[in-house]
Amino acid sequence: MFEEVGTTTEGDLIINVGPQHPATHGVLHLVITLNGETIKKVEPHLGFIHRSIEKMCESLSYRQFIYVTSRMDYLSAHINNHACAMCVEKGLQLEIPPRAQVVRVLMDELTRIASHELWWGAMAMDLGAFTPFFHAFRERETINDIMEETCGARLTMNYMVPGGVMQDIHPDFQRKVKEFIQLFKRKIHEYDEMVTGNVIFQNRMKKVGYLSAEDAVSYGCSGPTARGSGVRCDIRKYYPYEVYNNVEFEEILETGGDSFARYMVRIREMEQSVCIIEQLIDNIPEGDFQAKTKAVLKLPKGEFYSRVETARGELGVYIVSEGGTTPYRIKFRSPGFSNLSVLDHIARGSKLGDLVAMMGTLDLVIPDIDR
């Protein structure tokens, strides 16, 4: 199974992509063995932004540790917080009010759109097209404004608390979200015109970085990366949480398995997120936005695991509690870590230029990989 494809022979060129490199969007270090322009081996070296969040969380209370996780996958900070809050609620066996559930899902989906927007722009930029980045940010800015009004922050929102959300939504929230949906529906065609339909882009993406369904599962890929290979793995569908089983949405599947399939999954997923938001935005139930909780939370002795679907894939939070006020051990199963491990597998034999396309469609966020 582990044939030595990547052994270095004379005439091979070893280059370091990163830790400071325009294509890695962060401090990822890849050691690449090249033969001419052809990749023989990709070896990730991690840890440049490892803050040991898991260790830090061991000394933080169950209210505090949630906010550290915003710094993991900073592009879907809401969803990280959501996973942690859900895990704590599972331990406390807390039922959260319906209003909070709906608001959480709305925020998650807005975050997902914002994250995919940034991915789309950054990926186009990796391929050498600069303009889409700015067009993507135009819409992302609107989401950030909505977030800012309700949560008070634009990137690390820290809006989820055990038992619900931190405060009620802003009075303008519904109107602004509806405005955003109108804007977004007009603009999503622009994306297709600008990037998806471009011949050069399609040639760069199709038949590049092929990942079979079996390998995707074996390598632990999740989210759009796995769904691009036709693996049904949407946590929102198969292990529904909050109100996801009450809304209708489609699990986007592409069977191509190449970079273009992964690209299309994300583009179409944005439309599905809009669809979810549309169903919920007029139906936010009245009531409390937070369940009553004690000031100091204590989880009973035991192990709790929650899974959510972030913009990048499956995020798992595993809390081992000894009954105290701080977790005994926390493990974050981050989607990026597993998705990165597949890079070597799909990159072998392709050109150096393809590597950026693959890294783009795996949607790597380095703090999420390193934690």
Partner 1 sequence: MWSFSDIANELHIWLNKTFNPTLTLVIEMVIAGIAVISLFAVLGLVLVLMERKVSAWMQIRLGPNRVGPKGMLQSLADTLKLLVKEGLTPNGADKLLFNLAPFIAMIVAMLLMAPIAFAKDFQLWDLNIGVLYVSAVSSIMVISILMAGWASNNKYSLMGAMRSGAQIVSYELSAGLSILTIVVLTGSLRVSDIIQSQADGWWIFKGHIPALIAFVIFIIAVTAETNRAPFDLAEAESELTAGFHTEYSGMKFALFFLAEYVNVFIVCAIGATLFLGGWMPFHIGNWTGFNKVMDYIPSSIWFFGKTFFLIFIIMWFRWTFPRLRIDQLLNLEWKYLLPISMINLLLVTAMAILKWHF
Partner 2 sequence: MLNEELRTKITELLPAATFEEGGDWLTVNVEPKDWLLLAQPLRNDRSLFFDYLFCLTCVDWKTHLSMVYHLSSTQYRHTIVIKSKLDSSQPGIEAVSHIWRTAEFHEREVYEMFGVNFLNHPDLRLLILPDGWEGRNPMRKDFEDPVNMIRL
User: Binding partner 1 by CB under 8 A: which of 73, 309, 354, 363?
Assistant: 354
Strand partners, 331: 318
Specify the DSSP element, H or E, that contains 317.
strand 314-321
**Does 178 help bind partner 2 (rule: CB under 8 A)?**
no
**Does 300 help bind partner 1 (rule: CB under 8 A)?**
no
Nearer to partner 1, 92 or 125 (CB): 125
Q: Which does 74 bind (CB under 5 to 8 A by kind): partner 1, partner 2, none?
A: none
Nearer to partner 1, 167 or 203 (CB): 203
In the complex, the smallest distance separating the C-beta of residue 370 from partner 2, rounded to whole angstroms, is 7
Nearer to partner 2, 125 or 226 (CB): 226
Window 192 to 221, contacts with partner 1 (CB under 8 A): 194-195, 198, 200-201, 203-204
Q: What is the CA radius of gyration of the chain?
A: 21
**Does 124 help bind partner 1 (rule: CB under 8 A)?**
yes
Phi, psi of 178 (to 5 degrees): -65, -40
**Does 63 help bind partner 2 (rule: CB under 8 A)?**
no
Window 37 to 56, contacts with partner 1 (CB under 8 A): 37
**Does 138 help bind partner 1 (rule: CB under 8 A)?**
yes
CA distance 310 to 333: 12
Residue type, 287: G
Residue 64-83 contact track with partner 2, rule CB under 8 A, x = bound: x-------------------
* Of residues 283, 277, 282, 327, the one with CA closest to residue 302: 327
Question: CA of 270: how far to CAs of 14, 20, 31, 134, 219, in Å?
Answer: 38, 30, 33, 18, 25
What would the DSSP string read from start to end of 112-145? HHHHHHHHHHHHHHHTT--HHHHHHHHHHHHHHH
Residue 167 carries which DSSP code? S
CA distance 174 to 311: 22
User: Binding partner 1 by CB under 8 A: which of 116, 135, 227, 371?
Assistant: 135
In the complex, the smallest distance separating the C-beta of residue 292 from partner 2, rounded to whole angstroms, is 25
Question: CA of 336: how far to CAs of 4, 300, 317, 369, in Å?
Answer: 25, 30, 14, 5
Q: Which does 203 bind (CB under 5 to 8 A by kind): partner 1, partner 2, none?
A: partner 1
What would the DSSP string read from start to end of 179-197? HHHHHHHHHHHHHIIIIIT
**Does 134 help bind partner 1 (rule: CB under 8 A)?**
yes
Nearer to partner 1, 86 or 125 (CB): 125
Nearer to partner 2, 32 or 169 (CB): 32
Q: Which does 197 bind (CB under 5 to 8 A by kind): partner 2, partner 1, none?
A: none
Phi-psi region of 224 (alpha: psi -120 to 50; beta: other; left: phi over 0): alpha
Q: Which does 59 bind (CB under 5 to 8 A by kind): partner 2, partner 1, none?
A: partner 2
User: Binding partner 1 by CB under 8 A: which of 28, 103, 127, 297?
Assistant: 127
CA distance 339 to 347: 13
Nearer to partner 2, 153 or 320 (CB): 320
Q: Which residues bind partner 1 (CB under 8 A)?
A: 13, 15, 21-23, 37, 124-131, 133-135, 138, 194-195, 198, 200-201, 203-204, 351-356
